[in-house]
Chain A
Amino acid sequence: EAQVTQNPRYLITVTGKKLTVTCSQNMNHEYMSWYRQDPGLGLRQIYYSMNVEVTDKGDVPEGYKVSRKEKRNFPLILESPSPNQTSLYFCASRLGAGGSYNEQFFGPGTRLTVL
């Protein structure tokens, strides 16, 4: 089944404790992206990757890191989480960075709480 998987689905942590949220897709998509979803603000892009070893900042990249060592995986790293990073996070992928009609597939989300 074609899908985007994220782990963990739920995470409660404390300020300053490094964490990684994994993301994997099995559709051989070139483009992957991370979003955070907050009430009233919609989905805001954190980072994106057009291909292996090619990553770039989205609209809200502060406090986050990513890497794209393999095509299928795109982990999101919070080196020193803070309470304002409490949010619902989604990983997404699509065939390519161009093509305005490309369907974007989303993972099931990771709900992160930073105390």
Chain B
Amino acid sequence: TQLLEQSPQFLSIQEGENLTVYCNSSSVFSSLQWYRQEPGEGPVLLVTVVTGGEVKKLKRLTFQFGDARKDSSLHITAAQPGDTGLYLCAGALSPSGGYNKLIFGAGTRLAVHP
């Protein structure tokens, strides 16, 4: 059972288009992170959102944390071929003893064609 559902799984678009990736859960997270992974490499952190309703911008990427801290979205404006990769969301749960466990979604594989 996937605690974090990401959609869509695959996205193939043309350069210049806009897109949104969603990350949904029934669990409440203390924070949510977005990572980007390129072939042959490990995931690299893009952003961490902590407060419900928080919006963060990273150039053409806009990240939003839901008011109830159960969901998040990543919006890319005017996608470029360099945005191609696997986007992963990860929610932080606190099972016990001050330990924050990261739960990862299955990822959205984005291909941006010139």
Contacts and interface: CB of A to CB of B under 8 A. Distances in A.
A108 B100 contact: no
Nearest to B2: A42
Given A35-B104, A42-B107, A106-B44, 11 more contacts: A40-B106, A42-B4, A42-B6, A43-B88, A45-B102, A90-B43, A97-B98, A100-B29, A103-B33, A106-B42, A109-B41
Interface of B: 2, 4, 6, 9, 29-31, 33, 40-45, 48, 50, 88, 90, 92, 94, 98-102, 104-107
Contacts of A4: 42
A107 B31 CA distance: 22
B106 A107 contact: no
**Interface SS of chain A: helix, strand, loop or mixed?**
loop
Contacts of A98: 98-100
B42 to A, nearest CB: 3
Interface string A97-115: 1111111111111000000
Given A42-B88, A42-B105, A42-B107, A97 B41 contact: no
Contact of B41 (A40, A42, A108): A108
A50 B42 contact: no
Contact of B45 (A42, A50, A100, A103): A103
Nearest to A91: B42
A12 interface: no
